[in-house]
Amino acid sequence: MRRFECIGLVCLVTGLLAACGGSSSSPAAGGASTGMAVYSGESGGARSTAYDGANFLVGLQTLQTNTGVGSGTSTPVGAILVDGTGAPVGSPLILASVGDSPSVACDSANHCLMAWADHSGLATDGAIIGQMLSTAGGALAASGSPFTIQAAQADVPNPGDTDKYLLEPQGIVFDGVNFLVVYTHVFQPAPNTGPSTSNVLGQFVSTAGTLVGTALTLSATPKTGDVTGQPAVAYDSFNAKALVTWTDATRNTKLDGTYCSSPPASQNMQYSPTDIEGQFVTQSTVGAAGTLSGANFAIQQDATRKIRGGPSIAFDGSDYFIVWTNETAPGACDTSGPADGPSELIANFMDTVGNLFSTTPFLVGSSATRGALPQVAYDPTAGGRFVVVWTDLRNDANGNLACDAGEGTCMDVWGQTFVFDSTPGVEARLVSDAGNQFEAALGAGGGKLLLLWDHGVLPNGSGSLTSPNVERDLVITAP
């Protein structure tokens, strides 16, 4: 389990992107500034931000140590407000509910929705839970109690069967009337009784915290053993519809796990996703959910290279920008070991009816980039630009996610700007602190960009996070 202290930093941009941190060795333009306390305590992650018209709302997964019955650690969810200078606004709000790092979204009237995959107990494990928040007057407060967006089910239809739900950082958007929450449904049968299945669902939620209509099935029914998920959503207010994207494995015939060919039917094996799919959803109305607009459509299809990380999307008023992590070359078979191919970040522009800018997605970063976990936001200043940030592993020469001798800081936060039909900006290392920085998150609002990242964690060779000496940095960059 990770432990984080939250520190706020402010960096003023003097170029397209600014470097943040204490070192002058970054290739990016700009300078560093001193830090200020934003969240004093332990945090397990902050991967989602929203702008309420005055401040940034940051969803937090905190970490606490329990004593007595149920001793150990748990991860209560919460949120904090941060203003445009990087300073905290009031105190953080920490709930009693335990869950994954929450996703957040706000309207323009200080109504915000925070949602998360819950792990508070057996009855709610894997459910999607929501909490309405108010940010009126710059004061963060809960509005009502937590409520169920999607209930988890167990032992249905057979003992040992489970239905679980997963929510990604870009899992909520406000469509001008209601919030749309998109999430993954995973059906896991009892052990050794068959493969799991999954699909993507969407549920509208009013600004009062009530469900609007029933959940929409966004992805077509997957084949047995399919892995469909990691959805992201963005909203187009000009055409009154949302775009939902996700990873899909319909075209893949290779399997994750120890098998390079089809395993026995009794095994719970899963296919790796190789495609990015999309679906438009119409704007909701008061008391009525939006509906699917057209059918699922392909954004990326490659039957030989698997998707390493789900898409992140943003909209600029005319076009969408979609970025994801892909294998650079096919692995020998889709195992969890070195037979996987190396990864790269690729992206494409798409118009509001699903037409792609290029039949071949283009590279984010450079041939040296070994990127993961990208997030994109649209910055309307400086003529308008998409900003992509990611975890960069180019210094991890042997790809073992450990900082070995001679590798220096093997994980860093990098970024790059993109403008439709223009030459991309130069990739730049945004954080030049010593140690590791990774899992960057990005939000935009009020002419500023909020960048968050994990700092100082050293994973061991298996990829688990073990170091307790960790801090969380919250960074504001102003164009």
pLDDT attached to residue 325: 87
Distance CA 218, CA 231 (A): 10
3-state secondary structure the chain: CCCCCEEEEEEECCCCCECECCCCCCCCECCCCCEEEEECCCEEECCCEEECCCCEEEEEEECEEECCCCCEEECEEEEEEECCCCCECCCCEEEEEEECCCEEEECCCCEEEEEEEECCCCCCCCCEEEEEEECHHHCCEEEEEEEEEECCEECCCCCCCEEEEECCCCCEEECCCCEEEEEEEEEECCCCCCCCEEEEEEEEECCCCCEEEEEEECCCCCCCCCCCEEEEEEEECCCCEEEEEEEECCCCCCECCCCCCCCCCCCCCCECCCEEEEEEEECCECCECCCEEEEEEEEEECCCCCEEEEEEEEECCCCEEEEEEEECCCCCCCCCCCCCCCEEEEEEEECCCCCECCCCCEEECCCCCCEEEEEEEEECCCCCEEEEEEEECCCCCCCCCCCCCCCCCCCEEEEEEECCCCCCCCCEECECCCCCEEEEEEEEECCEEEEEEEECCCECCCCCECCCCCEEEEEEEEC
Contact 217/244 with Cβ under 8 angstroms? no
pLDDT attached to residue 207: 98
Contact 199/217 with Cβ under 8 angstroms? yes
pLDDT attached to residue 8: 33
Contact 258/267 with Cβ under 8 angstroms? no
Opening angle at CA 233, ends 166 and 148, nearest 5: 40
Strands 111-117, 128-134: pairing is antiparallel
Amino acid at 294: G
Contact 276/245 with Cβ under 8 angstroms? yes
pLDDT attached to residue 273: 67
Distance CA 345, CA 369 (A): 8
Listed in sequence order, the residues at least 6 apart from 345 whose beta carbon sits closer than 8 Å to its beta carbon are 323, 324, 325, 326, 363, 364, 365, 369, 371, 372, 374, 388, 390
Distance CA 168, CA 202 (A): 12
pLDDT attached to residue 62: 78
Distance CA 349, CA 419 (A): 10
Phi and psi at 137, nearest 5°, equal 65, 15
Contact 388/378 with Cβ under 8 angstroms? no
List per-residue pLDDT tens for the chain, 479 residues long. 233 333 333 333 323 355 554 432 333 333 332 334 455 445 556 789 999 999 999 998 876 655 444 444 678 899 999 888 777 888 889 999 989 889 999 999 999 999 999 988 877 888 999 999 999 999 999 999 999 999 987 655 555 556 788 888 889 999 999 999 999 988 777 665 666 778 899 999 999 999 999 999 999 866 555 567 889 999 999 999 999 999 887 665 554 443 344 444 444 445 566 788 999 999 999 999 999 999 999 998 876 667 777 899 999 999 999 999 887 765 554 444 334 556 789 999 999 999 999 888 899 987 777 788 899 999 998 789 999 999 888 887 776 666 777 777 778 889 999 998 888 999 988 876 776 777 888 889 988 888 877 765 444 332 222 222 233 333 333 33
Written as six digits, the tokens of 340 are 């996987």
pLDDT attached to residue 405: 76
pLDDT attached to residue 78: 92
**How long a stretch of residues is the chain?**
479
Model's pTM, two decimal places?
A: 0.85
pLDDT attached to residue 83: 86
pLDDT attached to residue 192: 59
Shortest CA distance to 129 belongs to which of 181, 57, 58?
181
Contact 308/372 with Cβ under 8 angstroms? yes
Amino acid at 181: V
Q: Provide Rg for the chain, Cα atoms.
A: 21
Listed in sequence order, the residues at least 6 apart from 16 whose beta carbon sits closer than 8 Å to its beta carbon are 29, 382, 385, 417, 425, 426, 428
